[in-house]
Chains A and B, each alone.
Chain A
Amino acid sequence: MAAYNHHKTGVYRFCCRMLNDREGAKDVVQDVFIKFFQNVNRFDGETSVKVWLYKSARNKCLNMIRDRGKIRNLGGDGDELQELLSSDPEYSDSPQMLRKLLDDLPADYREVLVMREWNGLSYAEIAEALDTTVSAVKSRLFKARKMASEIYKKLYGDV
């Protein structure tokens, strides 16, 4: 229960910024913590719990993004989905620029950026959550920031 109270807001924030959709984020957070409570005896430390939660949330968010991509590819439902997301209070309350930036970033760049900037995970924790190395995280974060910088420049001009 302590782990739930400690990490729930962070995991929710991560899902919100990954999906840019409050309802979707709530569904993912719910699934993640139900699975967490079912496997609660497996965890041996705080880091293990934190990494597991973000790893699980990330996988579920990617599945949801993939499913939405399939919906868009199938036909006209993509526009309806965009309208639905734009009418979401959480989505429309967040700064327009951040939403646009995150929307335009590929999911593999968005996940490292959100984990680092929104959730403050260390490079080692991100590496563990993404099953990769610290140097790969460092490189991917740099590329994500570079792309974010280019998107920003294209949309809003120089800082």
Chain B
Amino acid sequence: MNCDFVQERLSAFLDREESTDNIEAALSHLYGCESCQNFFSTAVKLHSLASDDRMSYPAGLDESISRKIGRKQNTNALGYQLRIPVYVVSMAAVILLIVSFAIGFMLQENMHRDEINAILKAVPSHVVYGMPTQVVYPVSIRDSKGAMR
């Protein structure tokens, strides 16, 4: 059996990515082959050293990233993230805009009607139709016969 073939299986076996059916022949080769034994023992040693080689995440990196992305994470005191989809926020903004326009329009209508009623009540007037705009003539500009001057 070829050493490279065996070592490739041993390498995968070490990673638990080789089925046990395929490994039996490789293991029996391993017992009688010094080259494969050297390969396997170095691989196991490297595996063990790598597992022990732990390192902590740099302390300031969280803040640095947070600052660079330019926005505060939307979390509460428990660290729970509140996720609001973009389309919901957009719809809410549009609805808010429409409602504010409607309220403004209604208030404006009521205000004008009230103003006109107040003027009509206070000043006896004559309204001339058929012109591009509505013209209100106060009673003071009529002559003694009641005709318009």
The interface residues of chain B, by DSSP majority, are classed as helix
The interface residues of chain A, by DSSP majority, are classed as helix
A17 to B38 Cα, complex, angstroms? 24
* Residues on B with beta carbons closer than 8 Å to the beta carbon of A43: none
Nearest CB of A to B57, in Å: 5
* Residues on B with beta carbons closer than 8 Å to the beta carbon of A37: 65, 69
* Residues on B with beta carbons closer than 8 Å to the beta carbon of A142: 4, 7-8, 11-12
* Residues on A with beta carbons closer than 8 Å to the beta carbon of B21: none
* Residues on B with beta carbons closer than 8 Å to the beta carbon of A2: 81
Nearest CB of B to A84, in Å: 17
Could you tell me if A141 and B49 are in contact, using CB atoms closer than 8 angstroms?
no
Nearest CB of B to A24, in Å: 12
The answer, yes or no, to whether A146 is at the interface (CB within 8 Å) is yes
A96 to B81 Cα, complex, angstroms? 42
Q: Interface readout for B42-56 with A: 1 if CB under 8 Å, 0 if not? A: 110111011101111
Could you tell me if B15 and A30 are in contact, using CB atoms closer than 8 angstroms?
no
A142 to B46 Cα, complex, angstroms? 13
* Residues on B with beta carbons closer than 8 Å to the beta carbon of A33: 65, 69
Which of the 9-residue segments A8-16, A48-56, A67-75 touches chain B? A8-16
A26 to B61 Cα, complex, angstroms? 7
The answer, yes or no, to whether A76 is at the interface (CB within 8 Å) is no
**CB closest chain-A residue, reference B54:** A13
* Residues on A with beta carbons closer than 8 Å to the beta carbon of B50: 98, 117-118
A residues whose Cβ falls under 8 Å from a Cβ of B: 1-2, 4, 8-9, 12-13, 16-17, 22, 26, 29-30, 33-34, 37-38, 41, 90, 94-95, 97-98, 101, 113, 116-118, 122-123, 138-139, 141-142, 145-146, 148-149, 152-153, 158-159
Q: List 19 A-B contacts (CB under 8 A).
A: A13-B54, A17-B53, A26-B58, A30-B61, A30-B65, A38-B69, A117-B50, A118-B50, A123-B17, A142-B8, A142-B12, A145-B7, A145-B43, A149-B38, A149-B39, A149-B42, A152-B45, A152-B46, A159-B45
Known: A9-B57, A22-B58. 12 other contacts (CB 8 A): A2-B81, A12-B57, A29-B65, A30-B61, A30-B65, A98-B53, A117-B46, A123-B17, A138-B12, A145-B42, A148-B46, A149-B38
B residues whose Cβ falls under 8 Å from a Cβ of A: 4, 7-8, 11-12, 15, 17, 38-39, 41-43, 45-47, 49-51, 53-58, 61-62, 64-65, 68-69, 73, 75, 81, 86
